[in-house]
Structure 1
């Protein structure tokens, strides 16, 4: 087998990716078990999940304390990521504005 054939990554259909994500989202599989079931690595499945999984439903007024804590943790993580992305965009904007003058 030549060197290029060894490095070639497998390609997966969109349907396969959606089905793999569905195992985690709807069927309750852990990422580890879903990875084993479909034969992909954890990072690959997590990337597909980030792109294809529907956003979680917000807690209602009748949510338990544990559900509220989980939502707060999720929202804090999302906020931190969004703030980081905003900072990157601000720096990129300043850089390109400087380059165009």
Structure 2
């Protein structure tokens, strides 16, 4: 069974912009962005047919409260990732030969 990946409307617009405005090839953009083969061609055609209305989001914009909650959660995750990276840097910088295999 083949799964269908959902792409954000902004992602679609940016991918189409790379083809139309920057002159990149469809296959090149698909490869560089990890888009399934043939999908971008459909997006480009949809853009040509509908211009700005081509990739309107399918869901209502989030409320300010929901956005704040989402951003706080993301901020917490990013802080945890930063802390882990700081610890890793501290460990690896104490003895550079310890982990290099030398």
Higher relative contact order (CA 8 A, sep 6+): 2
TM-score by length of 1: 0.43
Name which one, 1 or 2, has greater alpha-carbon Rg.
2
TM-score by length of 2: 0.43
Q: In proportion to residue count, which structure has more helix?
A: 1
